[in-house]
Structure 1
Amino acid sequence: MMNRSLILGLILVLSTATAPSCHGYYSKTVPYKPRPQKVTHLHFFLHDTMSGNNPSAVLIVRPNITNTTNFGNTVVTDDALTVGPDAKSEVIGNAQGLWVSTGKNFPTLSVYMDFGFTQGEFNGSSISVFSRNPITQTERQLAVVGGRGKFEMAKGVANLKTIFVNFTSGDAIVEYHVTVIHY
């Protein structure tokens, strides 16, 4: 019995030692063929709802400190994007991601979101935003840092204007005017 185990172990060691190893990575350089860039202007409204029985934004982290700016709070979102400011207007997509309260002395969020479109010309496409959002300013800008689908290789800027905010409930409606440069 001992000999069988020893022989099996020896065969295992020898077969692994002689097995070819794969290392490195595959890379192929191809000539760069510039494509014409497109500029698209988008206009929609984001509905961030933290209150009620069906919130679109949920607090998932609250640090064990007391402060006036909710520093450290982390919220996950699946907010509706609509054509108008009314919550009953046509839904054209959703903004999924999270925002973190990163301002210790001034209410500021760091926003990491993917704005996915589910209707119209851009159905199945999305833009990605990763930026600082000083929420007490009525008008501000966020950076568009990527995209997929019809917004491949996107970059640009989103100009935001707060239409409604309730700092007690956390509910907000924000108007977006987005300029996207993409292929």
Structure 2
Amino acid sequence: MHFITFFFFLLFSFNTLTSSTSSSSSQNDDTFDFVRPLDPMLLGLNKKEKLSHLRFYWHDIMSGKNPTSIMVVPPTLNSTTFFGSVHMIDNPLTLGPELSSKLVGKAQGFYASASQAELGLLMAMNFALIEGNYNGSTITILGKNLVFDKVREMPVVGGTGLLRFARGYAKAKTHWFDLKSGDATVEYNIYVFHY
């Protein structure tokens, strides 16, 4: 009998402890905000916004012993648009159109064939810059690229470093394309607002 009384006493005590802990923790959860307003000056946003133009050449190299663009998902259909294929990239960005030109950064990310009717790519890449004051800064592109259009426009959705809060657009124009190897050089002109 004493054992049963002791057991119920423990059960009741444990239940009381857990419910009081739960209610105090739920009160703390109600008072904790994970979003709070900030003064923009705390992040250095009191400066005048700048508009910058960046220009470089993007080299997509699929051939040779050291490709910078590798297909990681083959096309799902036997089509001329390669629908469903995905390429991971670590492409050089150079000052001039020649691959031997000065390296100013890397384009890192992927592109995927996202259209069944035309050669239209979904581009998702960071332009990681390594030159001068912009060393360590990035620009992020996310958008549609209709490969055979003369000029393609894609949005800039963000940036880091000296290009924090970047917004704008990129214009891509094919400079050179080898149909046999798939290698290409594309001129990028990027216009971004940033702080």
Distance 2:34 2:165 in 1: 23
Which amino acid in the other structure matches residue 154 of structure 1? A
What is residue 144 of structure 1 aligned with on the other side? 156
- Alpha-carbon deviation of 1:35? 3.9
- Alpha-carbon deviation of 1:16? 4.5
What is residue 121 of structure 2 aligned with on the other side? 109
Deviation digits for residues 104-152 of structure 1 (CA, Å, limit 9, x no counterpart) = 1111101011101011121111111011100012322111111111111
Partner of 2:133, secondary structure, is helix
What is residue 23 of structure 1 aligned with on the other side? 29
Equivalent residues, number: 182
Bigger mean CA offset, 158-167 vs 106-115: 158-167
What is residue 76 of structure 2 aligned with on the other side? 64
Equivalent pair of 2:91/2:106 in contact (CA under 8 Å): yes
Cα RMSD (Å): 2.6
What is residue 56 of structure 2 aligned with on the other side? 44
Distance 1:27 1:106 in 2: 43
Distance 1:13 1:41 in 2: 65
Task: Give runs of aligned pairs for residues 151-166 of structure 1, distance below 5 A.
Answer: 151-166=163-178
Distance 1:8 1:82 in 2: 73
Give unpaired runs (5+ residues) of structure 2.
none
- Residue number among 128, 131, 136 corresponding to 1:124 in the alignment: 136
What is residue 90 of structure 1 aligned with on the other side? 102
Give unpaired runs (5+ residues) of structure 1.
none
- Residue number among 88, 91, 94 corresponding to 1:76 in the alignment: 88
Equivalent pair of 2:76/2:84 in contact (CA under 8 Å): no
Instruction: State the identity %.
Output: 34
Distance 2:10 2:90 in 1: 55
TM-score, normalising length: structure 1: 0.87
Equivalent pair of 2:76/2:83 in contact (CA under 8 Å): no
Distance 2:120 2:160 in 1: 27
Which amino acid in the other structure matches residue 41 of structure 1? H
Partner of 1:121, secondary structure, is helix
Partner of 1:111, secondary structure, is strand
Which amino acid in the other structure matches residue 28 of structure 1? R
TM-score, normalising length: structure 2: 0.82
**Change in 2 beyond 3 A, CA 1:117/1:12:** farther
Deviation digits for residues 24-78 of structure 1 (CA, Å, limit 9, x no counterpart) = 5244334556542101111111111111111111101114321111011111111
**Change in 2 beyond 3 A, CA 1:67/1:26:** closer
Larger-Rg structure = 2
